[in-house]
């Protein structure tokens, strides 16, 4: 693991790191904030998954999470959204919603994306092991959250591994990617045309097929330009109601899809996580 930079912030250390990933076969960058703590202490970990086009820099620079993490004693991990580097295939037309910056937190099965686009395995297995070995992280106290495409990733990774994450939340998640243009494009490219295979990567479909979580917190801006066509939170509300999942879905008036929205409600989400990560 290579340390690219560190800086003091809110009584803790914000770092940016790089390592050679065995899951993707590429170098992967990730950010970690560690609050000051007693010698020998092991701290709970919140993993934050970013949305389309993002790198770890977006949340590091705009997410405004450090003060809350310092007060609550949380390690905050922000991985990248896709593999990158020479030879990593991108969208043939260079579109923003597929390929580089748009890995959709799944393991691709279709050429030429199969291999490097192993983001589910990277987030669920490789990165947590690295964090536990290199930082004062308590591997038994993990939670996950995300924004947009990252909200999709947080929901589906948690639904696929019940009990793994003590808390799950999302900002403006893509809840039913099989039914919206962003997801249909991504799933066709990464997973092929078999829609039955798509259901294992679609939060609403997973809940319909029996996956469960004890509780979810979701914030959504009602001025989000992607609300009606791409996000469709009403489908998550319906699925959770039918499954008996305790969903707190807050439609926030006047807020859009940006980090102004995320940073406003980030402390609420971190308090939600901290309460469930307590010993």
Q: Which residues are catalytic?
A: 148, 224, 257
Task: Please answer whether residues 30 and 226 qualify as being in contact, where contact means their C-beta atoms are separated by less than 8 angstroms.
Answer: no
C-alpha angle with apex 168: 192 to 176, nearest 5 degrees? 35
C-alpha angle with apex 46: 125 to 34, nearest 5 degrees? 105
From residue 278, how far is each of 23, 45, 74, 97, 147 by CA, in Å? 31, 11, 10, 37, 24
What are the respective helix, strand and coil percentages of the chain, to the nearest 5? Answer: 35, 25, 35
DSSP 107: B
Q: What are phi and psi of 136, to 5 degrees?
A: -80, 60
Alpha helices in 65-148 (DSSP H): 66-72, 119-121, 127-134
């Amino acid at each position: 693991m290579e340390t690219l930079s560190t800086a003091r912030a809110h009584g803790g250390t914000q770092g940016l790191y790089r390592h050679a990933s065995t899951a993707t076969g590429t170098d992967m960058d990730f950010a970690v904030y560690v609050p000051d703590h007693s010698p020998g202490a092991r701290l709970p970990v919140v993993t934050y998954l970013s949305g389309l086009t993002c790198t770890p820099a977006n949340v590091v620079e705009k997410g405004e999470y450090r003060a809350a993490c310092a007060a609550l004693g949380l390690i905050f991990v922000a991985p990248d959204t896709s593999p990158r580097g020479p030879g990593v295939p991108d969208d043939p037309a260079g579109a923003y919603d597929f390929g580089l910056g748009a890995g959709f937190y799944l393991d691709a099965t279709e050429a030429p994306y199969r291999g490097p686009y192993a983001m589910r395995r990277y987030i669920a297995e490789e990165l947590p092991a690295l964090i536990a070995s290199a930082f004062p992280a308590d591997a038994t106290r993990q939670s996950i959250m995300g924004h947009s495409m990252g909200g999709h990733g947080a929901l589906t990774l948690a639904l696929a591994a019940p009990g793994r994450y003590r808390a799950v939340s999302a900002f403006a998640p893509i809840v039913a990617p099989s039914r919206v243009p962003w997801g249909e494009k991504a799933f066709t490219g990464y997973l092929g045309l078999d829609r039955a295979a798509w259901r294992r990567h679609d939060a609403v479909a997973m809940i319909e097929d029996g996956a469960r979580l004890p509780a979810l917190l979701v914030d959504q801006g009602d001025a989000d330009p992607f609300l009606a066509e791409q996000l469709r939170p009403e489908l998550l509300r319906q699925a959770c109601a039918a499954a008996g999942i305790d969903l707190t879905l807050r439609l926030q008036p006047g807020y859009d899809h940006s980090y102004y929205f995320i940073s406003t409600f980030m402390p609420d989400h971190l308090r939600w996580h901290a309460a469930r990560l307590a010993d």
